[in-house]
């Protein structure tokens, strides 16, 4: 994947695992993170978040200037990745969706932990999921839309997904949609008699931890309030509400106005860009390295899963 060498970009991290945080799909360890950093340092400049931001705003980033970014305010990032960054004397961008640091929960993250903890492997989960779909009122709809599904074409920009990963995501995002998918998941979770508050207590950072990142010279930025998976499908008013609530919550916590952001699930449109401009956001990040007109609200990012594959190759 040569593109990563030709443009300034961010590296995008999500989940980490250790003895406490379970190893879900795509999760990496402290050693993996150190390896990625060392790998990048051979051919790129890994900049401090503040330096990257300044250069990006001035338009003076070099092609091999890279920054580290962490999405979703995950506790595993704070507990596992932060010590590694400190050992390398690096700082990063942390894109925080604010509902979860103010006592809320978010379904996708809970569902992710559920399928990791309660099933031996991801295929067992998929099997149980498709069984639940088959015995639900959505059985016909899903069967119909799967006729349009092609594992070769769907999500082809994410080479690390297996065909079953893609089939699951297709049914989740295209055939069912948010509401019906949540219904199916909730049926499964009820069968396991899971207590959501205690089950989700190790998923997200709290306010103090986010504040600590800010006070240690990392940059905390926007990522919407509730993390809709298809933000761009919301009307402008709904999008504005997402970002203004996110902005206000972080502003109140950090006593500092956010000027950076990343697009949750890479979902945005012209309305989003207008809202971010109104909030005077200076730089934003996408979730992939796809060739794309480079505006300051659309910097590319490389997924850590792709980097791991390159290192292993
Ligand atoms: Zn996210």
pLDDT digits (tens, 9 = 90+) for 99-122: 999 999 999 899 999 999 999 998
DSSP secondary structure string for all residues of 99-136: GGGGT---HHHHHHHHHHHSSSSHHHHHHHHHHHHHTS
Whether residue 9 sits in one domain with residue 134: no
Both tokens of residue 19? 């003895």
Residue 259 vs residue 229, higher pLDDT? 259
What pLDDT digit, counting tens, does each position of 130-176 carry?
999 999 999 999 999 999 999 888 988 888 889 999 999 999 989 99
182 within a domain of the structure (yes/no): yes
Cβ(47)–Cβ(66) below 8 Å:
yes
Mapped onto helix, strand or coil, the DSSP state of residue 1 is: coil
Question: What separation in Å is there between the alpha carbon of 83 and the centre of ligand 1?
Answer: 22
Question: What separation in Å is there between the alpha carbon of 74 and the centre of ligand 1?
Answer: 10
> Quick one: DSSP state of residue 15?
-
Burial of 245 (0-12, 13-18, 19+ CB in 10 A): middle
112 within a domain of the structure (yes/no): no
Question: What separation in Å is there between the alpha carbon of 14 and the centre of ligand 1?
Answer: 8
Specify the pLDDT at position 4. 44
Q: Mean pLDDT for the chain?
A: 94
273 within a domain of the structure (yes/no): yes
Question: What separation in Å is there between the alpha carbon of 36 and the centre of ligand 1?
Answer: 21
Cβ(79)–Cβ(20) below 8 Å:
yes
Residue 290 vs residue 131, higher pLDDT? 131
The count of structural domains within the chain is: 2
Question: What separation in Å is there between the alpha carbon of 191 and the centre of ligand 1?
Answer: 28
Domain C-terminal end among 193, 213, 242: 193
Mapped onto helix, strand or coil, the DSSP state of residue 191 is: helix
Whether residue 208 sits in one domain with residue 308: yes
Rg, the chain, Cα only: 19
Distance CA 289, CA 100 (A): 28
| CATH number of the domain within which 273 lies | 3.20.20.370
Specify the pLDDT at position 305. 86
Q: Find residue 11's DSSP bridge partners.
A: 68, 302
Question: What separation in Å is there between the alpha carbon of 137 and the centre of ligand 1?
Answer: 30
Question: What separation in Å is there between the alpha carbon of 113 and the centre of ligand 1?
Answer: 15
Question: What separation in Å is there between the alpha carbon of 223 and the centre of ligand 1?
Answer: 7
pLDDT band with cut points at 50, 70 and 90 for residue 250: very high
- The predicted model gives 227-236 an average pLDDT of 93
Residue 69 vs residue 2, higher pLDDT? 69
pLDDT band with cut points at 50, 70 and 90 for residue 1: very low
User: Which residues are CB-contacts of 213 (< 8 A; sequence separation ≥ 6)?
Assistant: 78, 82, 94, 220
Question: What separation in Å is there between the alpha carbon of 119 and the centre of ligand 1?
Answer: 24
Domain C-terminal end among 163, 193, 223: 193
Going by C-alpha positions, the residue among 57, 58, 55, 93 that lies closest to residue 77 is: 93
Question: What separation in Å is there between the alpha carbon of 71 and the centre of ligand 1?
Answer: 5
Distance CA 185, CA 183 (A): 6
Specify the pLDDT at position 3. 43
Specify the pLDDT at position 157. 83
Question: What separation in Å is there between the alpha carbon of 222 and the centre of ligand 1?
Answer: 10
Does residue 242 have a pLDDT over 70? yes
**Range of the structural domain that residue 156 is part of:** 119-193
Question: What separation in Å is there between the alpha carbon of 262 and the centre of ligand 1?
Answer: 8
Whether residue 257 sits in one domain with residue 132: no
What pLDDT digit, counting tens, does each position of 266-276 carry?
999 999 999 99
Whether residue 68 sits in one domain with residue 24: yes
Question: What separation in Å is there between the alpha carbon of 264 and the centre of ligand 1?
Answer: 4
Whether residue 208 sits in one domain with residue 178: no
Specify the pLDDT at position 2. 42
């Amino acid at each position: 994947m040569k593109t990563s060498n030709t443009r300034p970009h961010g590296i995008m991290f999500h989940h980490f695992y250790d003895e406490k945080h379970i190893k879900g799909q795509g999760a990496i360890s402290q050693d993996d993170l150190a390896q990625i950093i060392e790998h990048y340092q051979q051919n790129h400049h890994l900049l401090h978040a503040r330096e990257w931001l300044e250069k990006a705003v001035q338009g003076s980033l070099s092609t091999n200037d890279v920054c580290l970014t962490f999405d979703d305010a995950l506790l595993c990032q704070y507990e596992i990745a932060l010590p590694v960054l400190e050992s390398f004397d690096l700082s990063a961008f942390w894109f925080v969706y604010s509902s979860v640091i103010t006592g809320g929960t978010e379904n996708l993250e809970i569902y992710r932990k559920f399928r990791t903890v309660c099933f031996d492997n991801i295929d067992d989960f998929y099997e149980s999921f498709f069984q639940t779909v088959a015995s639900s009122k959505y059985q016909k709809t899903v069967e119909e839309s799967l006729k349009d599904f092609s594992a070769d074409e769907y999500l082809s920009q994410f080479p690390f997904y297996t065909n079953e990963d893609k089939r699951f995501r297709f049914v989740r995002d295209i055939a069912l949609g948010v509401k019906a998918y949540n219904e199916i998941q909730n049926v499964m979770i009820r069968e396991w008699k899971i207590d959501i508050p205690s089950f989700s207590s190790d998923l997200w950072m709290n306010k103090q931890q986010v504040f600590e990142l800010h006070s240690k010279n990392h940059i905390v930025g926007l990522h919407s309030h509730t993390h809709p998976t298809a933000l761009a499908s919301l009307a402008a008013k709904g999008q504005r509400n997402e970002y203004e609530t996110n902005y206000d919550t972080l502003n109140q916590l950090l006593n500092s106005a956010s000027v950076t952001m990343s697009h949750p699930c890479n979902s945005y449109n012209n309305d989003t860009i207008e809202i971010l401009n109104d909030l005077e956001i200076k730089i934003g990040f996408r979730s992939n390295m796809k060739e794309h007109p480079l505006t300051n609200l659309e910097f590319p990012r490389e997924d850590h899963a792709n980097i791991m594959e390159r290192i292993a190759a």
